[in-house]
Structure 1
Amino acid sequence: MPLLNLSYSKQDDAQIWIQMKAGDLDAFNLVFNHHVDFLIRYGHSITTDQQLIDDCVQEVFSRIWQKKEQLKSTDNIRYYLIACFRKELLKMMKKVAKRESIFGGLFSGSVIEFDASLESNMIFNDIKREQIASLNACFKKLSSRQKEVVYLKYYNDLSIAEIGEVVELDTKAVYNTLSKAMIILRKHLKK
């Protein structure tokens, strides 16, 4: 199974979304089949709890199908799913943390550990292992928020505004986070 579908194209998203909203099961299946693996990989970059990831993916797609007539229009299905999935995953992680008293009442979305090695391996699967190790070492220098912004911008081609909505930051904060991350990456990749 490939780690990241780099050939993703959002050209037909608006039409597929309209068909799905109208009750076209084939369109829904197309959306599900095209994006489910991506959401699972994205979930793994936030948590290692496979059951929680699977539950959240199922919940997102179930809710989308159940409320299809009420969904907003979109021309970028992947962005829409990332936003829904991330909110659902963070909500469920808070519930689990509260139930198990792992984090007490101190859970914050900014403490997410983001593992870029999965994505890095896909992007650089033809590059020597030492180059991948060098890139991963650089990613370890980034904060979890910086890793997530870089992932959404460069691995999923989301706009700054879309990233801001997904991670709940204003556009200036996204620009600053991305800029600081790129400075750190350039500095450590030049070594």
Structure 2
Amino acid sequence: MGENQNISELSLLAGVATGNETAFRSLFDRYRGKIYSYALRLSEDTSLADEVVQDVFLKVWLKRKDLPAVENFNAWLYAIARHRMFDMMKQQAREIQTLEAVQLAAPDTGNNAELSLLEKEHQLLLKDALSQLSPRQQHIYHLSRHHGMKHGEIAHTLNISRHTVKTHLVHALRVIRQHITPYINSIILGSWLLENIF
């Protein structure tokens, strides 16, 4: 049984190496669940686990010509998954630091009409971005930003792990960034000019 499995795998790898998409799909179907479970255990986040699976198999496809030289495909695949998870965790750590250090609220406006307009524009963008979050992400973001609760406090309140809290906040930040990026540079520049020049 194991020998037949190995032969079948070698056949699939040979097919993938030549660019056979059917073989690649079969390989994907065989290993997707294992990589997904591995990523889910580490991240506790289904969307992130899906992202890891996609990234890992994209790497397999891009490296397909190297497959015939791979002696232990299972170990090779998990090494790619571990490396990708390590990169994503480093990215999460950076984004969490940014989320905790940078307040998305506009600067104090006082009675300045221009700054007041910037604040309104910024708040509308933020409101639109927050509306795209899941209810759980909105709740965690609200507890963090508006109640000043630490990750451990949120985790205790919602009966979830600290890592789950961090993951939700990272995703919240990602959604917010994606939404406001097309606009935020002009808002920040305008705010800086008003604060530092006018």
Fold equivalence (TM over 0.5): no
Q: Which has the higher contact order (CA 8 A, sep 6+)?
A: 1
TM-score scaled by structure 2? 0.43
Taking structure 1 as the reference length, the TM-score comes to 0.45
Structure number with bigger Rg: 2
